[in-house]
Amino acid sequence: MKESGRFGEFGGAYVPQILYPVLEQLEAQFLAAQSDESFQRELAQLLTDYAGRPTPLYRCRNLCADTKTRIYLKREDLLHGGAHKTNQVLGQALLAKRVGKTRLIAETGAGQHGVATAVVGALFGFNTTIYMGAKDVARQQPNVFRMKMLGAEVISVTTGSQTLKDAINEALRDWAASYENTHYMLGTAAGPHPFPTMVREFQKVIGIEARQQILEAEGRLPDAVIACVGGGSNAIGVFTDFIKDTGVRLIGVEPEGLGRDTEEHGMTIQKGAPGVLHGAYTHLLQDRDGQVLESYSVSAGLDYPGVGPEHVHLMKTGRAQYVGATDDIALDAFKTLCRKEGIIPALESSHALAFAMQMANEDKHKEQILVVNLSGRGDKDMETVAKIFEGRAAQ
Amino acid sequence: MNNRYDEMFKRLDGEKRGAFIPFVVVGDPSLDVSLEIIETLIAAGADALELGVPFSDPVADGPVIQAATVRALENGATPSGCFDVIRKVRGAHPDIPIGILTYCNPVISTGFDAYFKHIADTGIDSVLTADMPVAEAAAYVAAARAKAVCPVFIAPPNADEATTRKIAELTDGYTYVVTRKGVTGTDDDVQTGFSTVIDDLKKAGAPRPVVGFGISKPAHVAASITAGAAGAISGSAVVKIVEANMNNKTAMKAALTAFVKEMREATKRTV
């Protein structure tokens, strides 16, 4: 590798030897594309014409209107595909196309990354295979259908916990046999080098836009930038351009699930321990023997026992702060945004929103500007949310 | 460094044959039965053992070994339970080379020094960590060598010259040669064209090459030996026999014995 792929001590590329040269080649192609004007021009044009960038930075009119906090939403939910995922799949797909790959494989949990991959698969004419845990196939049927409509093959993974982590395992196994014609479109800022760096570089457009937009709107930087963290791609995307602005707090919100003192959560950064999962030295949920544990969250997109290594580094250095939001407060935030602003957020993004609302309500007289990355829209979550709210009404 | 692998290869050179090394997952289907399985393999003529320590996320394994891992974990096979089984095997068989196959997380989360001390104390000769590429392995290899444990690395078909040299430099005991792409599993036809890997390794001064992945028939063993390998490892084919005879231990042992015998027979050198 040309670069270390380390963020402090975290990161690296722990993969079977057969995949190492494949990652080396990907790194070289990525670095070449970064300094290639024609690549950057084509990507910028696709982000504008096809995906709908720049996305708006919207100042909430009603949310927390009884406080002195001004909450701004970075509207990644308005991006084509319905979430920030589209930013980076366009980048990776262009890269794969340039080096002559004909097939894409990807993992998906909630289905958002699978849909994004199927979108670019259709756009560029790739043969696309999506690995999805059997449990997720059952609970995310609308997205399974969307992927199929877009021409992708969806393979239900029945091994292990039958969720996202097993879908990644299966994609890695496929890639070990198929790398010659196949690009593995990893969906988040986790995994082996160069994925965490590559995904960050393709997602940092979120923060670059948000920083300019808040300066235009307020004439100053925000007090805090807040994003949810599962694997960590939307958070690293919105954080990166603010890292140099040391006066801006960066806050990552992990899924606290049923509570941080239960076993039902996905707080990898705060409650996990160092180890290797899916090719990176990072924090993961594991038992004393080093077996990987299952995570839990009401939000399938945050239900992952590992996390991108750069976030662990940002936590260790203190540049970013990681907190939690339970299922319950995320669901409250979901409902509140629907009712007050007419915006249906993804359950993932509702975790970030919930924490921002807490900050606003803690001291209603405190003047502060908060930027929340609204990473996706909540249409996909309708069934989950309806079941929960109907269940509560029946009690 | 003199080790049990060197002694084995010396003995086999005298017998004009290569090594047959069966692989099973420790704890599949249970710790007790797996001890009996390992004893059966040794009694049938296994020259060395390659033993999988079950890990929750075995990304280098195909469906057969994944299923064995699930069975072992579901039946409560912890690493310490597995090491107890291996300690018993070592106690009964002081000379047979024993290697284990594991993954990064259990090794790294234990800490290299503590991990390899435990490996040495258990009587294990070599460790192959399936998701540890040579580029990340400097501290890992140093810790293994400090405890006289052989680090084993896989030489894949796409290794370039520099990688092959690095593999040769960091590997002790034997070199695990993989002749095809993909994960573990059984193939109908062993892939050809691997003699270049073996030749490259020999040029680089690597420990003796042993072929694994896809070895399920005597013809695969014979082809490996003819291509210059010092032995062959068969995993999924052995695990399949365990899986197919889960409810009949007598039949399982008979089938394992027959399989080891015919595979071992195919290790004879014709030249």
Question: Stretch B93-119: mean pLDDT, rounded?
Answer: 98
Average pLDDT score over chain B: 95
Question: Do A291 and B104 lie within an 8 Å CB cutoff?
Answer: no
CA distance B15 to B116: 33
Q: Is B95 a catalytic residue?
A: no
CA distances to A124, A125, A147, B262 from A151, in Å? 12, 10, 7, 48
pLDDT less than 70: residues of chain A? none
Question: Do B163 and A276 lie within an 8 Å CB cutoff?
Answer: no
CA distance A306 to A292: 9
Identify which of A65, A103, A57 has the alpha carbon closest to the alpha carbon of residue A374. Answer: A57
Q: Is A108 exposed, middle or buried (0-12, 13-18, 19+ CB in 10 A)?
A: buried
Written as six digits, the tokens of B157 are 């078909």
> What are φ and ψ of residue B259, in 5° steps?
-65, -50
How many Cα atoms within 13 Å fall on the side-chain side of residue B39? 13
Identify which of A223, A187, A204, A189 has the alpha carbon closest to the alpha carbon of residue A312. Answer: A189
Indicate which of A289, A293, A312 best probes the interface with B, i.e. most B CBs within 10 Å of its own CB: A289
pLDDT over 60 at B1, yes or no = no
Written as six digits, the tokens of A196 are 């965490």
**Which amino acid, A209?**
E
Q: What is the pLDDT of residues B213-231, one digit of tens each?
A: 999 999 999 999 999 999 9
Who's near B186: CB < 8 A, 6+ residues apart?
A: B64, B214, B216, B236, B237, B240
Buried residues in A248-267 as b, exposed as e (16+ CB within 10 A): bbbbbbbbbbbeeeeebbbb
> What are φ and ψ of residue B111, in 5° steps?
100, 130
Question: Do A16 and B158 lie within an 8 Å CB cutoff?
Answer: no
Indicate which of A6, A14, A293 best probes the interface with B, i.e. most B CBs within 10 Å of its own CB: A14
Q: What is the pLDDT of residues A91-135, one digit of tens each?
A: 999 999 998 999 999 999 889 999 999 999 999 999 999 999 998
CA distance B105 to B84: 20
| pLDDT the model gives residue B30 | 97
CA distance A82 to B152: 47
Written as six digits, the tokens of A270 are 């705060």
Tokens 């992952």 appear where?
A304
| pLDDT the model gives residue B184 | 86
Contacts of A274 in chain B (CB under 8 A): 108-109
**Which amino acid, A225?**
V
pLDDT over 90 at B270, yes or no = no
Cα-Cα-Cα-Cα torsion A265, A270, A276, A278, nearest 10 degrees, comes to 50
Identify which of A12, A20, A31 has the alpha carbon closest to the alpha carbon of residue B160. Answer: A20
Q: Is B173 helix (H, G, I), strand (E, B) or coil?
A: coil
The active-site residue out of B6, B32, B39, B50 is B50
Written as six digits, the tokens of A356 are 């921002």
CB-nearest partner of A16 from B56, B59, B66: B59
Question: Do A275 and B105 lie within an 8 Å CB cutoff?
Answer: yes
Find how far residue A79's CA is from the centre of its chain: 14
* pTM for this entry: 0.96
CA distance to partner chain A, nearest, from residue B55 (Å) = 6
> What are φ and ψ of residue B146, in 5° steps?
-65, -25
| pLDDT the model gives residue B40 | 98
Question: Do A274 and B182 lie within an 8 Å CB cutoff?
Answer: no
Radius of gyration of chain A (CA): 20
| pLDDT the model gives residue B271 | 66
CA distance to partner chain B, nearest, from residue A242 (Å) = 31
Question: Stretch B234-252: mean pLDDT, rounded?
Answer: 97
Question: pLDDT band at B32, cuts 50/70/90?
Answer: very high
Please check whether residue B221 touches A, CB under 8 A.
no
Looking at the structure, give the CATH architecture of the domain made up of residues B4-260. Answer: Alpha-Beta Barrel (3.20)
Q: Is B136 a catalytic residue?
A: no
